[in-house]
Amino acid sequence: MSPRRQHRLAHLLMGLGISPFAAYLAWVMVFFATFVPGRRPVMPILDPVGMVGLAMATYAGALAVAGPAAWWSWSLARAVPALRSRPALVFQCLVALLLACPFIWSFGQTLCLG
């Protein structure tokens, strides 16, 4: 398989791996953006235990699929300079940021709560 095809496959795997976790994050953000105390929520949400379980499952799937794919894409771009491009770098950084999201959140909570 050619390096260009491998690079495209790595990007496809990154997209497929990060999609469920990104959809979960969007769901939670829409819930909090539309939440008004005393009214029925516009966006339905599971009980807290279900939401934590869903978050862990989607994050584990993203970490298992998108993480190695991002590493593979980065190593291919490093080995074959013709594969380097700004959109590929932006996509790799976006995937890395989404995979680091729980750690950034917990670090922010640690700073805020003292």
3-state secondary structure of 69: helix
Has residue 114 got a pLDDT over 70? no
**Domain range for 60:** 3-113
Q: What is the pLDDT of residue 64?
A: 94
Q: What is the pLDDT of residue 101?
A: 83
Tell me how many domains the chain contains.
1
Q: Are 17 and 24 in contact (CB under 8 A)?
A: no
pLDDT value at position 71? Answer: 93
Using the structure block, give the residue that is written with the tokens 């298992």: 64
**Separation of first and last alpha carbons in the chain:** 52
pLDDT tens digits for 54-92? 999 999 999 999 999 999 999 998 999 888 889 888 999
Element (H, E) at 57: helix 48-79
Per-residue pLDDT band at 32 (split at 50, 70, 90): confident
Element (H, E) at 43: none
